[in-house]
Amino acid sequence: MPPRTGSGDAAREELSSLGKLISLIARALVDYPERVVVREADGDHHPRIELTVAPEDIGKVIGKDGRTAQSIRTLLAAAAIRTGKRAHLDIVD
């Protein structure tokens, strides 16, 4: 099997279930789902998930008064508790 050189496929395969959840939610909200990028970093005992979307879609992910972003964080917290962890979501613009 040839080595993988692109970061897109390899990054998607390495996502945990929490990262996949955030990716699924973000792709459903935006106009450019192919430009959604989810990265995970292990922080101090808590995974940190970074979400990047197209500049045109940042408002859709954040929502009015940050309500959509807070709802995504609530879903992430609920899913993380089921795995016995806590997770943090950063929306990168």
Model's pTM, two decimal places? Answer: 0.80
- Residue 42: per-residue pLDDT: 76
3-state secondary structure 25-89: HHHHHCCCHHHCEEEEEECCCCEEEEEECCHHHHHHHHCHHHHHHHHHHHHHHHHHHHCCCCCEE
Report d(CA 87, CA 45) in Å as an integer: 9
Domain segments of the chain as ranges: 7-92
Edge-first strand order for the sheet with 37-42 is: 37-42, 47-52, 88-92
Indicate whether 5 pLDDT > 70: no
CB within 8 A of 17, min separation 6: which ones?
Answer: 79, 83
More confident residue, 42 or 12: 42
Could you identify the residue written with the tokens 């995970």?
Answer: 40
| 7-92 maps to CATH 3.90.650.10 | no
